[in-house]
Amino acid sequence: MKKRFMAGVVAAVTALAMSISVLAAGSIVGSIDMPNASVDRGSVTLSPVAPGIYADDLQKVVDDLNAADADTTVTGAFGNSLPSSFDYYTQEGLKIKGYSLDGYKFLSPVMDLKVTGTQASLDNLMKITFVANNMTDGMVVDILYYCSEHGWEVLKGVRVSGNQIMAYFHSVSEGSPVALIYKRGTVSGGNNDKGSTSAVSPKTGQSSMVPVAGAALVFLGIGAFAVLRSKKEN
């Protein structure tokens, strides 16, 4: 009887430990919130990336990015598909060629951004605002975007409120990959320049690990008690 009880405890703890491991290694999709978006003209739709909506090569890169671990860096998620360089755009146009993404992580999954009813260009920029409730003070948040003309590029994020980040787009289409990315700010803070030095990683699905971990500790305690009691009785 005691052996069967102990075997059951061990099995339960093992199962819980495996569940914790799976949750800790959650992918970007399902672990990080997807924001909403609005645009200053035309209409915009922000949707999860469906299978087969892009050309094969681009689709594979996007799928690999979204399958990466939620805590990986942007460059790490690209892996062998990492572009040779990224251009960095601001409201004034091209600001930096060969911009470094060192230290950046994903604040959102890679999503499909669809803009209709209007066009954008370097002489006619479009403002798109994203609402991201997992954005915190001290973060430097920018936008990773696949431009049909230039390929992967980075657009400067401008904080307009506590949970809203805006960027100027010089190219839009009826379906392009986009993601919010962030890195930790300096003493002067992130995009909002609030002077926060307490920037933390955004909340992800890992918060759901808390009750599972608690249950695992309870089972471990029961198992340890049973072992000690068994030894005393023998």
pLDDT digits (tens, 9 = 90+) for 145-196: 999 989 999 999 999 988 999 999 999 888 999 999 999 875 333 454 333 3
Query: Do 167 and 143 form a contact (C-beta atoms < 8 A)?
Result: yes
Q: 34-43 burial by CB neighbour count: b if 16+ within 10 A, else e?
A: bbebebeeee
Nearest to 19 by CA among 213, 219, 223: 213
6 has a pLDDT exceeding 90: no
Tell me what pLDDT residue 34 has. 83
Tell me what pLDDT residue 212 has. 39
2 has a pLDDT exceeding 70: no
Average pLDDT (62-76) is 95
pTM above 0.85, yes or no: no
C-alpha distances in Å from residue 209, one per residue of 20, 105, 204: 6, 21, 10
118 CB-near residues (< 8 Å, 6+ apart) = 39, 41, 42, 126, 172
Tell me what pLDDT residue 66 has. 96
Query: Do 157 and 142 form a contact (C-beta atoms < 8 A)?
Result: yes
230 has a pLDDT exceeding 70: no
Task: Decide which of 27 and 208 is more confident.
Answer: 27
pLDDT-wise least confident of 15-24, 153-162, 168-177, 222-231: 15-24
Query: Do 78 and 9 form a contact (C-beta atoms < 8 A)?
Result: no
**207 burial class (0-12, 13-18, 19+ CB within 10 angstroms)?**
exposed
Partner residues linked to 97 by β-bridges: 87
Angle of CA points 141, 28, 147, to nearest 5° = 55
Alpha-carbon radius of gyration of the chain: 23
Task: Decide which of 24 and 91 is more confident.
Answer: 91
Distance CA 64, CA 61 (A): 5
